[in-house]
Structure 1
Amino acid sequence: MPLINVIIPAYNEEKSIAKVIRDIPVGLINDIIVVDNNSEDNTFATAQATGATVLKEPRQGYGQACLTGIAYALNKPAHLRPEIIVFIDGDYSDYPEEMPKVLQPILEDKADMVIGSRALGNRQKGAMTPQQLFGNWLATSLLKFLYNAQFTDLGPFRAIRTDNLVQLGMQDQNYGWTVEMQVKAAKQKLRFTEVPVTYRKRIGFSKISGTVKGTVMAGYKIILTIFRYL
C-alpha cells in the first residue's frame, strides 16, 4: 500500500474539523495534515486533540493553506514522503469515508488525479448555492471548450500522485486553486478521472459562497485562471 497523506485546509472550522478527521478511514492514511489558516476560533486545538498533524499558516487563502500542507509533506524524510496526496475541506460537507472510492482509480493505476464530483453524486438539497452550481457549469464548460478536458465539477475532494502534483507547479494562493490544478492536469496530459461523491450542507458559515464579495471574487479568479493558462 502506498503512503498516503491527507491535507485539510481549515479556517474557523472548530465545529466540524474533528468530525472530518474522525471519519477518515483508519489504516488507509499515513498522516492527516490540518493547516489552520489563521483561524479566530479553536480550530488548531480541536484538530490537535484528534491526533492530526496541525500546521499554522497565518497567510490567509485556500490555495496558500494547501501549498503549506504540500511543502510539509514534501519535506518529510524519503521513507515517509507520501506517494499520493488527498485534499478535502474541513467543513464536513464531503464524506471522508468515501476516500477509498476517490483513491481507487489511482491505486489501480488507471489515473494520476481523481476529482470527487458532486455533480455526478448525491447532493443534499441546498448544499450548493445557485451561484455555485452556475459557476461550476460555466467553469467546466470552459475547460471542455478551451482544453478539451471533460470535468463536471471543481470539487475540493480530490487525490493526486505526489510526483504529478509537484510536476504541476501549483501557485494559486486563494480561489483559483482547484481549477488551476485541473487546467494544468489537462495541459500536461495527466490521466484524470472523476468519481461521484456525496455532498451535504456544510457545518458553519461559508467564507466564499456565503457572501456576495466571496462569490464574486471566487468566480472572477476561477475564470481568470482558466484563461491565464491558455
Structure 2
Amino acid sequence: MEERSLDRTQRILVVDDDPAILRLVKDRLEYAGYEVVAATSGQSALEVIAQRGLPHLAIVDINMPGMNGFEFCKAVQQFTDFPVILLTAVDEEETIIRGIQYFAEDYVTKPFSPRELVARVERVLRRIGDFAYALDPLIRIDERLAIDFAHQQVTVENQVNSLTPTETKLLFILMRNAGHTVSTDFLLRRLWPLDEVFEDTLRVHIYRLRQKIEANPTKPMYIVTDRGQGYSFLQTHTSA
C-alpha cells in the first residue's frame, strides 16, 4: 500500500476508549497521510476540538464511559457538520439504522479491516469535499474576521461576538463550500434534519449571521445570496 500524498493534510479525530483500537487506527491513518488526533471519550473529544480545532472527519465508537458516541455526535451536530464514521462492536440492526439515519455518514463494525476503514474514510471525504480553510482553533478569514467554531464565536475588528449553535453550523456549512453556491434545500436538510422548516426560517438566520459578521449587512461581502438557488461564502473579499 503506497502512502497517500495530500496537498493539505486532513485531520481525523478518532474517539474510542480502547487504547489498542486507537493505536491501530491512528497508525493506519497516519500511514495513509492523515493528521490524526485521538480521544478516549466523548467529553475528551470535545476538549480536543476546543484546543485543536475541528477535524475534517471523526471516527467514533458508540459504547464509551461517560458521554457515549451518539451523545458526542448530538453535541457536535448542534454547531457543526463535519462527517462521522461510527466504528463499533454494536451490530444490532436498530442501532445501525439509528446511527446512519441521525449521526453518521458510514457505519463500520468491529472486528474490521484497517485497509477498508481507510478506504471508507477516503470515500466520505471525497463525497463531502475539502474544507476551503485550514481548520485551526481560530480561523482567520481576513484582516477583520476570524471564526472560532468550537467556542461558537466570531472576532470582527477585534470585537468578540457569540454565535448561536444554528448560526455556527450554518457558517460552517457555507465555509466548507466556500466559493460555491449551497442550495436552500441542502441547508434546510443539514440544519434541521428532523424538523419541517421552511425557507423563511433560514432567511432569518442568514440575516442574523450577517448582522454579526458583515461590515454592511445590506451589501454583504462574505455571505451572498444567489437568487433562486441558495447562498455562498466568498473566498476573497474587498474592503467595504
Q: TM-score range by the shorter chain?
A: 0.3 to 0.5
Of structures 1 and 2, the one with the larger relative CO (CA 8 A, separation 6+) is: 1
> Greater strand percent: which structure?
2
Bigger CA radius of gyration: 2
Question: TM-score when scaled to structure 1?
Answer: 0.33
